[in-house]
Amino acid sequence: MSLSPRLEALIDALQCLPGVGRKSAQRMAFQLLERDRSGAGALARQLDDALANIGRCERCQTFAEDALCPVCADDRRDGSLMCVVESPADLAAIEQSGDYRGYYFVLLGHLSPIDGIGPEDIGVDQLLAQIHERGVTELIMATNATVEGDATAHYIADRVDPETVTITRPAQGLPVGGELGGVDGGTLSHALRGRRPFAG
């Protein structure tokens, strides 16, 4: 014998969480059963509630409880601007910065042929339809600055009509408040190549 079957089943189930292996799952199961049964009950309820009620926005694909997410439902935004991001977390980060007033399209991932994720899985056709429908004139490619994010941005740029839509990418360079010595070489060379006149 080692652990009871239900405990084993719980430990297995906890391993569906990203970054959680057998050891962490065991620690989590013990902690919940020993010290936080009310927290575990709340987690089970919130999981069920989220699964039953959180779907995707019909327009931008982000997580939403209604047919449209709050951003798409807000018709005071600038319909000529659309920002393409990989995940709802990226959307939330841009919203928190407070500057952007256009709409979004959330790919929920990036192209990854090795994992079998093609254009139809990230909703490229739906993005193109949205660009047409909303009359977008500038598409901001805010996919991650990774190989996959870049490849996804290039693929989408190739499918967009360059006559009607300008495609841009957020500037790459030094982070605000960052120390030069702590910045990696790739970022530093981007920052130097993209240097600008000193505004004084």
Residues 6+ apart with CB under 8 A from 137: 80, 81, 164, 165, 166
User: Rule CB under 8 A: is residue 118 a binding residue for its own copies?
Assistant: no
Q: Does 29 bind its own copies (CB under 8 A)?
A: yes
Nearer to its own copies, 73 or 129 (CB): 73
* 6 scored as a contact of its own copies (CB under 8 A): yes
Q: Residue 58 interacts with its own copies (CB under 8 A)?
A: no
- The CA distance from 65 to 75, in Å, is 18
Spatial CB neighbours of 136, under 8 Å, sequence gap ≥ 6: 79, 80, 81, 82, 103, 130, 165
Instruction: In whole angstroms, give the CA distance from residue 86 to residue 74.
Output: 21
**Contact yes or no for 64/56 (Cβ under 8 A):** yes
Site for its own copies in 139-178 (CB under 8 A): none
Q: Which is nearer to its own copies, 50 or 129 (CB)?
A: 50
Selected from 49, 58, 125, 133, the binder of its own copies by CB under 8 A is 49
CA-closest candidate to residue 170, choices 145, 148, 195: 145
Q: Report how many residues bind its own copies under the rule CB under 8 A.
A: 57
Options 36-44, 125-133, 141-149, 153-161: segment touching its own copies (CB under 8 A) = 36-44
Least distance in angstroms from the C-beta of 156 to its own copies: 19
| 3-class secondary structure, 93 | helix
Three-class secondary structure of residue 13 per DSSP: helix
Q: Which two tokens stand for residue 159?
A: 């499918």
Instruction: Determine which residue in the list 22, 36, 129, 168 makes contact with its own copies, applying CB under 8 A.
Output: 36
The piece of 44-52, 129-137, 138-146, 191-199 that touches its own copies (CB under 8 A) is 44-52
Among 24, 112, 126, 187, binds its own copies (CB under 8 A): 24
HSE-up of 192 (CA within 13 Å, CB side)?
A: 7
Residues at the site binding its own copies, with contacts judged by CB under 8 A: 1-7, 9-10, 12-14, 16-19, 24, 26-34, 36-37, 39-51, 53-54, 63-65, 69-71, 87-89, 92, 95-96, 108-109
